[in-house]
Amino acid sequence: MTDQQTPAAAPAGEPILLTKKDFVSDVDPRWCPGCGDYSILAQAQKAMPDFGYRREDIVFISGIGCSGRFPYYMNTYGFHSIHGRAPTLATGLKASRPELMVWVITGDGDALSIGGNHILHSMRKNVDIKVVMFNNRIYGLTKGQVSPTSDFGQKTKTTPGGSVNYPIHPLVVALAAEASFVARSVDTFPDHLQETISRAGHHKGSTFVEVLQNCNIFNDGAHREFTDKEVRDDRMIFLRHGEPMIFGKDRDRGIRLNGVRPEVVRLGDGITEEDLLVHDETSEDPTIHFMLGRIYWPEFPVPVGVIRNVSRTTHDALLQGQVDEAIRREGRGDLRTALGGGETWTVGG
Amino acid sequence: MSTTDPTTEHEVEIQELDRVTVRFAGDSGDGMQVTGSQFSQSTAVFGNDLSTLPDYPAEIRAPAGSLTGVSGFQISFSSSPIYTPGDAPDVLVAMNPAALKRNIGDLVAGGAVIVNGDAFTPNNLAKAGYANNPLTDGSLKGYNVHEIPITTLNARALEGLDMTPKQVDLTKNFFALGVMFWLFERSMEPTLEWLEEKYAKRPVFIEANKRALMAGYAFGETTEIFHTHYRVAPAKLAPGTYRNITGNEATALGFLTASQLAERNLFYSSYPITPASEILQQLAEYKNFGVKTLQAEDEIAAIGAAIGASYGGGLGLTGTSGPGMALKSEMVGLAVITEIPLVIVNVQRAGPSTGMPTKTEQADLFQAVFGRNGDAPVPVVAPASPGECFAYAIEAWRLAIRHMTPVVYLSDAFLATGSEPWRIPELDELPDLRAPDHTELEGWHPYVRDPETLARPWVVPGTPGLEHRIGGLEKLDVLGTVSYDPDNHHRMSLLRAEKIARIANDIPPLEVFGPPEGELLILGWGSSFGAIRSAVERLQARGKSVAHAHLRHLNPFPSNTGDVVRAYRQVLVPEVNMGQLLFLIRGTYLVDAMGFNLVRGKPFQISEIQMKAEQLLGDL
Ligand SMILES: Cc1ncc(C[n+]2csc(CCOP(=O)(O)OP(=O)(O)O)c2C)c(N)n1
Ligand code: SF4
Ligand SMILES: [Mg+2]
């Protein structure tokens, strides 16, 4: 399955000139026709050459779900692990091989149900892994059961009477876990998606990207109400760092704070851009980021783009730093000394 | 044999003994573990062979003075080789009534008891459930009781130091230790050095403990309550440099050594659990060897991270105890199907479920051999003594690397916390574990196999031109693409089984101690080695046709195991479980082996195995 035709990596020092094609493996994707996963794959393959990593230095690790098949289609190193646990493998790999670029591909069930614990802890440790969560608000691979992001009241195979569970807000989970990069995009917005993946790839630290993805078989149109071409400008807000939070086809509406609550306002009638919140993705204080992670259609426009982007020393760098520091302080470990540690005595021969 | 010791003023008899077993017992706040390990250290340096067994409650601080709060430490030491911490103590040090009550029943008839008389207050007696004071009611008539007002004497020795009464009281265990040092002619030096290091920042504590220790020693020397002191001559151990080591220490050192021998960085990830936590704590100290450690969010994450590290070319190691092992099982299966080298440590404790966390058991053998979905064979190794943990930690990695497989390393609470003298090996005695990553493009596929071992190549990310995908889905033989082909799955299942079975060609044969055939074979594994070997030695000394064989490789078994078990009229398999090795042996070799199973959270005693064997030999 290794693509033997592709050229070996460029020698050290030479620029790495790769194109999207170099990242296409020889395995044909096997998602349902029309599945949103195809678009995510295409945009990821397009974003890859820009990172300056050789193919062999990039690793995709996935859990189980339709999304989990992603690594087979990327001509990089790949590990299709088990349900919910991809972040754990990624954490160990990154800790022992800090020079690699490590991606985690996961689904809404994989990341937030069975793997919730691992998402939480990989994010809070600021492990330098790029998590891309395909949110189709359903269990796709197992054929249509309710997921942690399914709507309240949603009828699925396991909730014929409607779901009695309140959905989780993935970005709020990532923010609460102190992810240093948090963003959202949509499978049907190719440019936006490519840009978001690209920014995620350039971030150093725990990265969480939610991609609203359509499962046209088991939850068709889950996001359509606000992502459709005709309505998206009015029902979504495209966040840009440093810019006021304006949205609407006519760019006539915005979000401002009323006390501690966000509200949608119409510009004019004494309300100007000055009154609106200005997006600051780098703000250490996460209050507004939490708000953006939580507001949703129909009460609010759905935010997309980079919500949070702060810099913290990464887990792998801290681990490596301790090793380097110990070597600097104590010298490289001597096995003989370690074995002979503690009180010893000698028995003559 | 007795002589008079010229160094003391009053007449003291010196009694030469071959072997002595001492138990220190007190409240869990009384520092009995420290006392015991300091006594062990001195005893080790003195040159006796020794074996220790700590026994502490799961509660960190059970109610003071209560029976549940009693903490104990037993050490047996000898002038000849010994394998167990002793069946019944000859000497009991009891720091309070509860400690006396919990332990007196184990003492040999006529054994010595040293008690802290000050602790026998009405209140403490009541907490221990004594209606009358056992020191005065005659109930200890059968023992040689020495009552010492330890609290008072110790406080007097520490007078003038800037310490609270509570702090002073906490040093009384060192008074007792001093008495024992005198009684058994041990040197105080190792403990004094230890104090200097431990309390480098609190000089007053050094002084206080030193005074307590010396006061105890002087008490032994000058008072007349002991008419004898005891001499246990140094043992004749094989030449070399020794240290006293616990199983967990030896395990951690073994893994460190494996990484140095393999020239790969060790990555240990674990979630704290008794009795495995010390391995994480100790490996965290080896950063200057390039060792990285991770305290993961749970046991699944811990093994996942270890798999990630091994996938990256490191030595990915994870460790836990039974409950954590249960959580890891899906991940072990992933390492089986992806054929990644990995070592999983299970320091067994009494189960099921949370069971008795600080107590020992050997009941996770089935879990190690079978505990996964699908046909997922995994090699299993188990050291037999604390010192042997070192060699088998290395052996686990040797198998994992050479055969590209996860390996389960089974220790237990008894090995983990028990200690014995360990001969520090020379580096050139150790195996070479180097195995270069595969980088060759020519003829490579993810699942091409070494014709001898059937191992697949270890290709790590970063290798140009060999980008490929692995994972938990069944893979096509050789090419490694996803495959649902029925015949392929059958073939891959056979290959996975055969790969592990062939390990039998790569491990030493099962050794037999005693006659190569005869009446009775006692077959054991893991930490019951000591009790079995001692019992067999006693039986052989009485001319019995009894042999001992001890399995260190539990899957696959050494290739001669079938021949060994068939060479005796009877086979007895003692285990601290309900008969797990027994089941495997009977099932594998169709022999009518018998079990001897005691699951009390403690190791076998020599006499128990001896009696069982005598029964089978028709002696009783
Ligand atoms: C331990 C375990 N439990 C259950 C499953 C079955 N399973 C596979 S994928 C999945 C849900 C996937 O949903 P999601 O993560 O949303 O991914 P999607 O298929 O929607 O992309 C489940 C329950 C499994 N493979 N492993
Ligand atoms: S089931 Fe849904 S998510 Fe899965 S491949 Fe089909 S369309 Fe895509
Ligand atoms: Mg889903």
Residues of B in contact with A349 (CB under 8 A): 239-240
In a domain, B585, yes or no: yes
CA–CA separation, B246 and A215 (whole Å): 56
For ligand 1, whether the C-beta of A135 sits within 6 Å is: no
What is the gyration radius of the CA atoms in chain B, in angstroms?
27
| Residues B165 and B26 both lie in one domain | yes
Token pair in block for residue B535: 């019992």
Nearest to B305 among A55, A95, A340 (CB): A95
Q: What confidence score (pLDDT) does residue A342 get?
A: 78
Residue of A nearest to B331 (CA): A82
Q: How far is A2 from chain B (nearest CA, A)?
A: 5
CB burial readout A22-43, b (16+ within 10 A) else e: bbbbebeeebeeebbbebbbbb
The model's pTM is 0.93
- Strand B112-116 to strand B144-148: parallel, antiparallel, or no bridges (unpaired)? parallel
Q: How far is A88 from chain B (nearest CA, A)?
A: 5
CA–CA separation, A37 and A212 (whole Å): 10
Residues of A in contact with B467 (CB under 8 A): 2-3, 55-56, 75-78
- Check which CATH number belongs to the domain holding B519 and give it: 3.40.50.920
Alpha-carbon dihedral sign for residues A120, A122, A124, A126 = negative
The verdict on a CB contact (< 8 Å) between A55 and B467 is yes
In a domain, B23, yes or no: yes
Cis peptide before A298 (omega within 30 of 0): yes
| Residues B213 and B279 both lie in one domain | no
Closest ligand 2 atom to residue A216 Cα is 7
Q: Block means of pLDDT (10 residues each) for chain B, length 620 residues?
A: 45 84 93 94 91 83 88 94 94 97 94 96 96 94 94 96 94 96 92 93 95 95 81 90 95 98 98 96 97 98 98 98 98 98 98 95 98 98 98 98 98 96 96 95 96 98 98 98 98 98 98 97 98 96 97 98 98 98 98 98 96 89
Kindly report the backbone phi and psi dihedral angles of residue A191, in degrees, each rounded to the nearest multiple of 5, phi listed first. Answer: -65, -45
The verdict on a CB contact (< 8 Å) between A343 and B190 is yes
CB B143 within 8 A of CB B107: yes
Ligand 1 pocket test: pick from A83, A146, A168, A211 the residue with the most ligand atoms within 8 Å of its Cβ.
A83
- Check which CATH number belongs to the domain holding B97 and give it: 3.40.920.10
**Residue whose C-alpha is closest to residue B386's, from B554, B530, B575:** B530
Q: How far is A194 from chain B (nearest CA, A)?
A: 23
| Residues B29 and B125 both lie in one domain | yes
For residue B544, how far is its CA from the centre of ligand 1 (angstroms)?
61
The verdict on a CB contact (< 8 Å) between B330 and A82 is yes
Residue B25, amino acid: A
The verdict on a CB contact (< 8 Å) between A333 and B296 is no
Residue B559, amino acid: S
Q: pLDDT tens, B287-343?
A: 999 999 999 999 999 999 999 999 999 999 999 999 999 999 999 999 999 999 999
The verdict on a CB contact (< 8 Å) between B294 and A91 is yes
Positions of E strands within A206-272: 207-212, 236-238, 246-247, 253-258, 261-266
The verdict on a CB contact (< 8 Å) between A81 and B462 is no
Question: Looking at residue B438, what DSSP letter applies?
Answer: P
Q: List the domain boundaries for chain A.
A: 28-222+311-339
* Ordered alpha helix ranges (H), B66-129: 97-103, 122-127
CB B274 within 8 A of CB B58: yes
Return the number of other C-beta atoms located less than 10 Å from residue B192's C-beta. 14
CA–CA separation, A333 and B274 (whole Å): 28
Residue of B nearest to A90 (CA): B308
Residues of A in contact with B376 (CB under 8 A): none
For ligand 1, whether the C-beta of A83 sits within 6 Å is: yes
Residues of B in contact with A335 (CB under 8 A): 256-257, 260, 289, 427
- Check which CATH number belongs to the domain holding B257 and give it: 3.40.50.970
A347 membership: H or E segment, kind and range = strand A344-347
Nearest to B462 among A8, A56, A61 (CB): A56
What's the N-to-C CA distance of chain A in angstroms? 59
For residue B227, how far is its CA from the centre of ligand 2 (angstroms)?
86
Residues of A in contact with B253 (CB under 8 A): 338-339
Q: Which of B398, B429, B460 is the last residue of a domain?
A: B429
Q: Which of B429, B456, B482 is the last residue of a domain?
A: B429
Q: How far is B296 from chain A (nearest CA, A)?
A: 8
Residues of A in contact with B47 (CB under 8 A): 345, 347
Residue of B nearest to A322 (CA): B287
What is the domain extent for residue B536?
Answer: 512-616
Q: What confidence score (pLDDT) does residue A13 get?
A: 62
| Residues B206 and B94 both lie in one domain | yes
| Residues B42 and B67 both lie in one domain | yes
For residue B281, how far is its CA from the centre of ligand 2 (angstroms)?
45
Task: For residue A105, give the ligand nearest its CA.
Answer: 1
**Residue whose C-alpha is closest to residue B604's, from B526, B498, B515, B532:** B532
The verdict on a CB contact (< 8 Å) between B242 and A346 is yes
Token pair in block for residue A159: 């909730």
Q: Which of B232, B253, B283 is the last residue of a domain?
A: B232
| Residues B187 and B67 both lie in one domain | yes
In a domain, B580, yes or no: yes
For residue B157, how far is its CA from the centre of ligand 1 (angstroms)?
69
For ligand 2, whether the C-beta of A189 sits within 6 Å is: no
| Residues B391 and B538 both lie in one domain | no
In a domain, B350, yes or no: yes
Whether pLDDT at A12 is above 80 = no
Q: What confidence score (pLDDT) does residue B429 get?
A: 96
| Residues B38 and B162 both lie in one domain | yes
Q: Is B339 left (phi over 0), alpha (psi -120 to 50) or beta?
A: left
Beta bridge mates, B70? B27
Q: What confidence score (pLDDT) does residue B8 get?
A: 47
Considering its fold, how many domains does chain B have in total? 3
Whether pLDDT at A10 is above 50 = no
| Residues B279 and B177 both lie in one domain | no
For residue B269, how far is its CA from the centre of ligand 3 (angstroms)?
30
Q: Is A126 left (phi over 0), alpha (psi -120 to 50) or beta?
A: left
| Residues B140 and B270 both lie in one domain | no
For residue A86, how far is its CA from the centre of ligand 2 (angstroms)?
20
CATH, domain A28-222+311-339, list 3.30.750.24, 3.30.450.40, 1.20.1250.20, 3.40.50.970: 3.40.50.970
Q: pLDDT tens, B10-38?
A: 566 788 889 999 999 999 889 999 999 99
Ligand 2 pocket test: pick from A28, A31, A157 the residue with the most ligand atoms within 8 Å of its Cβ.
A31
| Residues B290 and B169 both lie in one domain | no
Whether pLDDT at A166 is above 70 = yes
Distances (CA, A) of A280 to A254, A286, B55, B210: 15, 10, 58, 62
In a domain, B457, yes or no: no
CA–CA separation, B42 and B227 (whole Å): 23
The verdict on a CB contact (< 8 Å) between A347 and B238 is yes
| pLDDT, averaged across chain A | 95
| Residues B268 and B340 both lie in one domain | yes
In a domain, B532, yes or no: yes
Closest ligand 1 atom to residue A67 Cα is 21
